[in-house]
Structure 1
């Protein structure tokens, strides 16, 4: 066989090589709901999508190699080309393993079931939210495909990696390289920039987090509330509004009749709220935001 033919064969083998995608995920006992949900996500979503890219999902409980399981997990977290982290319920082991991946500045795709409240330090990281249902499976698959394709084919992604741990490591390294008399000033500058960045993040509309355009609540006022959300989540939104927690018959918190306008794939719902306790209004809007299905929330005082 000629050298040219050999190279061609090796190229075909490389294209057809099946690689592991390590899955950082809560596991639970074999008869637990957590375990069933995890296996359902892997078999119904991750496996079929990853196969399109010549990957197979490999969570820790599927590893069948001899030796230290902890070392095998950490090696995969650090060395795997592709890692997906399931942040549902914010499992401590999952967050620890995600931190290891972050510390090495490696690519990672994060996912979470709707309703998961992300910790403040990763709330600005792009996360794919999904519904644990048959229709949810079909909705999340194309989103995951886009994320995987972006990571595997973006040659400049290493220059764009940003996460709380990796950014802190880079800042520390930058500071240590400065002359001693400049280090304190640089630390103050970096802290100030972090505060500005956090402030701007709070003002922007994010899918994960609090999306209020105004929060100048005054006790006893009436407020106009507009919520833009994905139309597919209309029933979930109505269920939240109809809960006994918010459908009260006293003068403390009242929701007026609701109007809904469909705008393409999204819907906009408007209603008024009268409350004598500003903390209740803040809790109400936060609950909508933390459910993960709102695009934006606007709150305006009614004169």
Structure 2
């Protein structure tokens, strides 16, 4: 079973950060992970005899995918995000407010969510799609045969994040007009 490590502001028991983290984990992440046959891990729920820092870094390095909640721009979360980003391994970013993300992070696809009256199905479906695409990149990242394939993946990720698939439909129409057949690998 593949591992998904959830990097998130955790806070102390009973804090708003902990309630939000628990809500995201139980409402969005665990159901999606179950569908995708992923084991979810979070730092405060790990039973390990190593130091907390060593355990977290080990999970960041060895997990198949990492979900990073940048809500509130918690310094620990940003540091851990930097480690995963530097490893060039699959990750998905989520936040309660995309506009609060720093400029150099804003260009990374992020799933925006809310803990107040969320559209659970929509967020869960988009999260599942983003995780699936990120995991698929493990096997295809080094085998891109053209810039077009990379652009197609970007197009798909944009559509998944925004929920607007009109650009993909327009692209398909253009490909059909040009007589371009899909390459089904």
Give the structure-2-normalised TM-score.
0.73
Higher RCO structure (Cα 8 Å, ≥6 apart): 2
Report Cα offsets for 1:178-223 as digits up to 9, x if no partner: xxxxxxxxxxxxxxxxxxxxxxxxxxxx99xxxxxxxxxxxxxxxx
- Which residue of structure 2 lines up, in the alignment, with residue 120 of structure 1? 103
From the two aligned structures, give the one with the greater helix fraction: 2
1:157 aligns with 2:141: yes
Which structure 1 residue ranges, 5 or more long, are not aligned?
1-17, 161-205, 208-228, 231-263, 265-303
Task: Tell me the distance in 2 between the aligned counterparts of 1:90 and 1:137.
Answer: 23
Return the offset for 1:104. 1.2
Check conservation: 1:89, 1:116, Cα contact below 8 A. no
Instruction: Give the structure with higher Rg (CA).
Output: 1
Give the structure-1-normalised TM-score.
0.45
Q: Which runs of 4+ in 1 moved over 4 A?
A: none
Return the offset for 1:116. 5.1
Alignment RMSD? 2.4
Task: Tell me the distance in 2 between the aligned counterparts of 1:114 and 1:95.
Answer: 15
From the two aligned structures, give the one with the greater strand fraction: 1
Instruction: Give 3-state SS (helix, strand or coil) of 2:47's partner.
Output: coil
Task: Tell me the distance in 2 between the aligned counterparts of 1:127 and 1:62.
Answer: 25
Between the two proteins, the alignment pairs up a number of residues equal to: 148
Q: 1:158 to 1:81 in 2, by over 3 A?
A: farther
Task: Tell me the distance in 2 between the aligned counterparts of 1:82 and 1:134.
Answer: 27
Task: Tell me the distance in 2 between the aligned counterparts of 1:149 and 1:115.
Answer: 21
Alignment of 1:134-145 (within 5 A): 134-145=117-128
- Which residue of structure 2 lines up, in the alignment, with residue 86 of structure 1? 69
